[in-house]
Structure 1
Amino acid sequence: MTNPLLADWDTPFGIAPFDRIQDDHFAPALEAALAEHRREIETIAANPEPASFANTIEALEAAGRTLDRVLGVFFTVAGADSTPEREALQREFSPRLAAHFSDISANRALFARIQAVWEAREALALTDEQARLLTLTHRGFVRAGAALEGEAEARMKAIKSRLAELGTAFAQNLLADERGWFMELDEADLEGLPDFVIDAARAAGREKGVDGPVITLARSLIVPFLQFSPRRDLRERAWRAWAARGANGGETDNRAIAAEILKLREERARLLGHDSFAAWKLETEMARTPDRVRDLLMAVWAPARARAEADAEVLAAMMREDGVNGPLEPWDWRYYAEKRRRAEHDLDEAALKPYLQLDRMIEAAFACANRLFGLEFRPLDIPLYHEDCRAWEVTRNGRHVAVFIGDWFARGSKRSGAWCSAMRSQAKFPEPQTPVVINVCNFAKGTPTLLSYDDARTLFHEFGHALHQMLSDVAYESMSGTSVARDFVELPSQLFEHWLEVPEVLEEFAIHYETGAAMPRAMLDKVLRAANFDQGFQTVEYVASALVDLAFHDGPAPADPMAKQAEVLAAIGMPNAIGMRHATPHFAHVFAGDGYSSGYYSYMWSEVMDADAFEAFKAAGSAFDPDAAAALEEHILSKGGSREAEELYVAFRGRMPGVDALLKGRGLLQAG
């Protein structure tokens, strides 16, 4: 029978035919797609005609369509619905793909043609987008090692292959640790837990095949447990398991893998003529240099730590009032912070969650997209890769814009965290294509599913990424949507979070799941007043992780990453009662691939801009000001990577912002 991954997809909007795709289709489909891509590359490289923009640069852009399609499906299901078979395929595919793309970047005849077009660029009368594509193509080949020769070329290929293997192993080890641990609770252990936590724990128990409630390492379950359980012994047990992911010894331990990854990254950068991996990686980002990243992080660190230390004294006093002696520990912070929030803001997460139904928050995100950009969402009844997934057709003025897929529930087969990806990105060349965009989250499933305020913010964050994909309007797929500098990609997502805090949005969509009543205005006011509650803690745990990431890559690779992590935390005065948001053995952003390596700071770099960008709407007098929305779409959301990120932001706001906008947004200015 025909492999459905290689056949024409006669499906609505060209969606992958998930109901026909089996795991045993992936390997032969990859084999065929790689062979086709090699033929396409060889045809370009061996073209007897003089190199031109069309027969070299655009030909490269058009090549590999089948490979993109196969990988788009495979990596979607491998990340969101893993199986032992898919994990084995991923271990097999990763080094093969690394070798394939290394061969392309090392193809001398191909690079000679790219170089010829590059050298003739001034005489080619290229459009702005064509010139940008040429720049990105040439730069990408040079940074991949196309100019290397002999032993250096061979070594670069070996490094890339090994890094692909190690990144896959790191991610799978982390998933195994998260999937394998759970803590059974008896009825007495449920004391003090609100109903939504108990319901989620019982649902998790059913998934694990346990007759009773369990706490797993899914963030949407373990965090509320740490917030609400009065059982300090159980909180400590859960927190230690959460903190120990990837560092439990045995086959799933990630510490040696992290050390090898860092060593290979340093060697890779030095082969390309850079002093450090951070110097190489940041060269194409907005930050440009490690020093600029460090300056930003340290400008935020001092006021954040001051706030956190002041908060720690308050929480420790509360703990002593409970008769608990000894220092405040990481497994105590969320519990006492929640008690403090209830006392100071009269805001109880358990009372808030019934108003934050998942379905209503999805409607809220859609409604904001409609008011801002005119997008409309129509449910689709199509086969998807898991029964939990839902799909919508996205239109504007009756014209098809995109397909949006939401996969929101935690399960053992899904890696942790939340992300947005595109199975197909927007493009006009070689023919028009619309995007297929997926948001993946890990919310605890319920009947109905109720979100924390942080969960709701995550939903809006990922949908902001989705809007960046949906509203893309560029010629070339390689620069569409979220194909931008890493420290710019979080701007649209973090900016969209602000609409969750717009009172009229919460008034309309924060509806009690039992009574149907809107969130009382008094509660809404408390939610908004408490928006910056515990920002010292949240900022410290994030900045510490970003500083450790930077230290790993800015200079010689540490032989012992755990010792280096401890050294960095000691040097900055990390509060004892706060753990890093992502400690080294489970820092998937940095070690499961190169995406955020030397780049975890990106969220904060983007936050400097998003805090300032929302001011454009405030200055206009409405969060839904049509002119501000049109400018945001025109200058940022539609442009992808077709221009340098700083140019796009300045086109939108007229200048770059300073760090004060971020400190003000987090309520940290007075702590400095």
Structure 2
Amino acid sequence: MTTAQNPGLADLPAGNPFSEAAWGTPAELPPFERIRPEHYLPAFEAALAAHDAEIAAIAGEAAAPSFSNTVAAMERAGLALDRVAGVFYNLTGSHTNPELQAIERTIGPKLSRHGSAIYLNPELWARISAVDADAEGLGDEERRVLSRYRTRFRRAGADLGPEDKLRVAEIAARMSELGTQFSQNLLADESRFLLPLDAAEDRAGLPDFLVASAADAAKERGGAHSHVVTLSRSLIEPFLVSSTRRDLRERAYEAWIRRGEGGGDTDNRGIIREIVQLRAERARLLGFDSFAHFKLDDTMAATPDAAMDLLREVWTPALKRAGAERDRLQAIVQAEGGNFALQAHDWRHYAEKLRRAEHDLDESEIKAYLPLDSVIHAAFDTASRLFGLTFAELPDVPRYHPDVRAWRVGNADGSEVGTFLGDYFARPTKRSGAWMSAFRSQERLTGDVKPIIVNVMNFAKAPAGEAPLLSFDDARTLFHEFGHALHGLLSDVTYPVLAGTAVSGDFVELPSQLYEHWLEQPEVLRTHARHHRTGEPMPEALLTKLLAARTFNQGFATVEYTSSAIVDMTLHLSAGGEDGLDVGAFEADALERIAMPSEINMRHRTPHFAHIFSGDGYAAGYYSYLWSEVLDADAFDAFREAGDIFDPATAKRLRTYVYGAGNLRDPREAYTAFRGRLPSTGPLLRKRGLAA
């Protein structure tokens, strides 16, 4: 494998690993064990200076602007900065500490100002604008790169006057500070909370696996208690399902939904107020009616109206379904002699009772057949059968935490695809949730650069000597994130700007959500769902019950998600001009207008809605999961219609036009090339059990 060198870092002290032109590690993984916090700031400063010099040379080039000396030159610039930032920002999410957090607060605004200086550089913009694709006879990929650069520059403010450019740069720098603080506040709230379960009665109703995980979490938190529940989803979700202590369920649930609004120095409401105002101001400066209009202008949906139409189409049947589910849960409460109205902290507990009654399913019984290693192998085997990939674990490679695992990913012919890292367990130094990221993205412009992709999860660790067991939702999350990983691993483009997941926000979830479908196929489960102790396959009766329950509680799940998406869009359509936005009141009013059931909360309440406030990635874009679900439900039907869930011809089109194509095409063109047409919402409504 050939990779580009990293100019600009050679003058760093010899003891700084970033000074080395090549790391000489397997797959050129970062030498995590040698990189210390004090290495980052000098490396950032050197890399920023090197990139500044590269950009100045491009902008001041004496020769007439061309694709090669301007656009391709920009694609080759900044390699040193990419190298440093790629390591640093992966660790601030997955294994941070106070030193890294301090660096993050310092470097974030500097990086923002650096980016603004590039995109608001009039000489550079003039050169990019002057590149003549027809005169140069550019190919399709080069034309797409040129188009993406022009779009990026315009959306960053390249056409604005000097004063407005200055203001846009100021906004970007401030937004960087606010997003970092939001994330660090959220991690602090999540790390700070624990619910002791020292007495046996505190653990009433908890299955053995959860008792063991709570004991392990207590040890990780210092051992002051015998058992604790933290705000790690892999602990709190099963606790809310199984605990028969309604008072403790309420305490845990309140802590979970109140993250980011507890008052004090980690309260996020003031940060949200300022972020929303700044986003609206930036959108107005760029000529848009709202931040939502600005954000969706460069997406598949194109307008907020199109996104809201989809959300409303799903909301109505979901609300009706959730109401029927609530009534059935309330009936259980009353049948058991409960003299109370069902509350949000009760829903999961009584839904599990209803699921057991209707489908004779026990979550503990299912988990016994879903050990983590088996689910990983199921995800790998699916990729092998679809795309001919091979996976070989790398036992002796650098890693940023002992829990991290690594695999070499290859094609059927033995050629290298890339390196995949899996970081599966919750810990206090990791933010909540699950995600995919890249330490290095695929491209061919600066050499045959192979990707290094990481999946980060927050599963509960098992006691020593025991296999970690996953719920079916956990297994689905693993498949989802591995779908994102494949999008990065299978990328097959020349230019970095088009690589992997660098696609429209409402298209990026297609590869991940589509991949979830294979987990639910009997053919996959019969092969990989095996008991963690005996190795016996899941009994056919249990498999049948599991699959029959796929749409159970979907009213709740759809309302929980869709309400979050509606509040996100409403906030970015209408709240930006308000001084002194009351975040809680705005959220409550938005939910009242859509008749949100009091027994269900948003999946992500506004004060801890990291998707939309830790950065701009999903801001006015949380709808994209549903938009992509329209695509994924229809896309999997292509395999059903072919009569084989691993149909080679369909899989080949999928790799060519979706997983491997990056941003080579407009997403509508990409989907049509794969499917032959654009999708309808029918398959989505059937998948969620919401069709009439």
TM-score (norm 2): 0.96
Distance across 2 between alignment mates of 1:82 and 1:342: 40
In 1, the alpha carbon distance for the partners of 2:57 and 2:119 equals: 15
Query: Does the Cα contact within 8 Å between 1:489 and 1:606 map onto a contact in 2?
Result: yes
Instruction: Tell me the equivalent position of 1:142.
Output: 154
Verify: 1:307 aligned to 2:328, yes or no: no
Residue number in structure 2 paired with 1:641: 663
Per the alignment, residue 259 of structure 1 pairs with 273
- Matched ranges for 1:459-478 at <5 A: 459-478=478-497
**Structure 1 unaligned runs (5+)?**
none
Alignment partner of 1:576 is 2:598: yes
Match of residue 196 from structure 2: 184
| Alignment of structure 1 residues 265-280 onto 2, 5 Å | 265-280=279-294
Note if contact 2:25-2:398 (Cα within 8 Å) is conserved in structure 1.
no
List aligned pairs for 1:278-293, cutoff 5 A: 278-293=292-307
Deviation, 1:122, is 2.8
Q: Deviation per CA, 1:537-594, whole angstroms, max 9, x where unpaired?
A: 0000000000000001113414222221111100000011000000000000000000
Note if contact 1:472-1:481 (Cα within 8 Å) is conserved in structure 2: yes
1:629, CA displacement in angstroms?
A: 0.7
Q: Could you tell me how far 1:430 is from its partner in structure 2? A: 2.4
1:589 corresponding residue in structure 2: 611
Query: 1:339-367 deviations in whole A, cap 9, x for unaligned?
Result: 01011000110111011000110011111
**Quick check: 1:6–1:66 contact (8 Å CA) kept in 2?**
no
2:352 maps to 338
Partner of 1:512 in structure 2? 531
CA distance, structure 2, for counterparts of residue 116 and residue 371 of structure 1: 47
Q: Higher mean Cα deviation, 457-466 or 323-332?
A: 323-332
Structural mapping, 1:121-160, within 5 Å: 121-160=133-172
Dislocated runs of 4+, deviation >3 Å: none
1:600 aligns with 2:622: yes
Kindly indicate whether the alpha-carbon contact (under 8 Å) linking 1:184 and 1:214 is maintained by their aligned counterparts in 2.
yes
Looking at structure 1, the residues matched to 141 and 228 of structure 2 have their Cα atoms a distance apart, in angstroms, of 53
Counterpart of 1:435 in structure 2 is 451
Residue 631 of structure 1, aligned match among 627, 639, 653: 653
Shift of 1:407: 0.1
SS at match of 1:420: strand
Q: Is the 8 A contact 1:276 1:556 kept in 2?
A: no
Within 5 A, what are the aligned runs for 1:273-672? 273-380=287-394, 381-396=396-411, 397-446=413-462, 447-557=466-576, 558=578, 559-670=581-692
Indicate the residue corresponding to 2:90 in structure 1: 76
SS at match of 1:489: coil
Output the CA distance in 1 between the equivalents of 2:211 and 2:488. 37
Render the CA deviation track for 1:248-299: whole Å, top value 9, x for unaligned. Answer: 0000000110010000000000010111001011001000000001000000
- For residues 599 and 556 of structure 1, the distance between their equivalents in structure 2, rounded to whole angstroms, comes to 16
Cα distance in 2 between the residues matched to 1:5 and 1:438: 20
Who is 2:251 aligned against?
237
Q: Unpaired runs of 5+ in structure 2?
A: 1-13
SS in 2 for 1:148: coil
**1:49 match:** 63
Distance 2:339 2:84 in 1: 58
**1:11 corresponds to which of 2, 25, 33:** 25
Q: Distance in 1 between matches of 2:17 and 2:296?
A: 40
Aligned amino acid, residue 408 of structure 1: Y
Alignment correspondent of 1:223: 237
Pick which of 454-463 and 15-24 moved more.
15-24
Task: Kindly indicate whether the alpha-carbon contact (under 8 Å) linking 1:636 and 1:649 is maintained by their aligned counterparts in 2.
Answer: yes
Deviation at 1:505, TM superposition (A): 1.1
Task: Give, as a single letter, the amino acid of the residue that structure 2 aligns with 1:190.
Answer: R
Q: What letter corresponds to residue 18 of structure 2 in structure 1?
A: L
CA contact (8 A) 1:552 1:561 kept: no
2:262 to 241, 245, 248: 248
Preserved contact between residue 275 and residue 555 of structure 1 (Cα < 8 Å): no
Give distance in 2, aligned partners of 1:577 and 1:603.
23
- In 2, Cα distance between the equivalents of 1:150 and 1:41? 19
Deviation digits for residues 96-133 of structure 1, max 9, x if unmatched? 1100001111211111111111xx23322110000000
Q: Structure 1, residues 492-533: CA drift from partner, whole Å, max 9, x if none?
A: 000000110111211111111122211000000111101111
Instruction: Name the SS of the counterpart of 1:274 in structure 2.
Output: coil
Q: For 1:648 and 1:109, how far apart are their aligned partners in 2?
A: 34
Aligned residue for 2:7?
Answer: none
Contact 1:420 1:466 in 2 (8 A): yes
Secondary structure of the 2:101 match is: helix
Deviations 1:583-621 (A, max 9, x none): 000000000000000000000000000000000111111
3-state SS of 2:408 partner: strand
Asked if structure 1 preserves the Cα contact closer than 8 Å seen for 2:369 and 2:530, the reply is yes
- What is the CA–CA distance in structure 2 between the aligned matches of 1:663 and 1:410, rounded to whole Å? 33
1:175 has 2:191 as partner: no
Distance 1:556 1:196 in 2: 45
Query: Any idea what SS the aligned residue of 1:5 has?
Result: helix
SS of match in other structure, 1:636: helix
Aligned to 2:6: none
Distance in 1 between residues matched to 2:583 and 2:155, nearest whole Å: 26
Aligned-pair CA distance for 1:159: 0.4
For residues 189-239 of structure 1, give each alpha carbon's deviation from its aligned partner in whole angstroms, at most 9, with x where no partner exists.
Answer: 111110111111111101101331100000010000000001100000000
CA distance in 2, matches of 1:492, 1:470: 12
Q: Tell me the matched-pair count.
A: 668
Corresponding residue of 2:219: 206
Q: Distance in 1 between matches of 2:375 and 2:364?
A: 17
Question: Greater CA deviation, 282-291 or 551-560?
Answer: 551-560
Question: What is the CA distance between 1:432 and its match in structure 2?
Answer: 1.6
Tell me the distance in 2 between the aligned counterparts of 1:532 and 1:443: 23
Identity of aligned residues (%): 53
Residue deviations 1:375-418, cap 9 Å, x none? Answer: 00111120100000000000111101100000000000000000
The 1-side partners of 2:336 and 2:270 are apart by 42
Assess if the C-alpha contact under 8 Å between 1:411 and 1:442 holds in 2. yes
Q: Deviations over 1:50-75 (max 9, x none)?
A: 11100000000110001001000001
User: Deviation string for 1:328-348 (max 9, x for gaps)?
Assistant: 100000000000101100011
SS in 1 for 2:444: coil
For the 8 Å contact 1:390–1:405, the answer to whether it is kept is: yes
Match of 1:166 in 2: 178
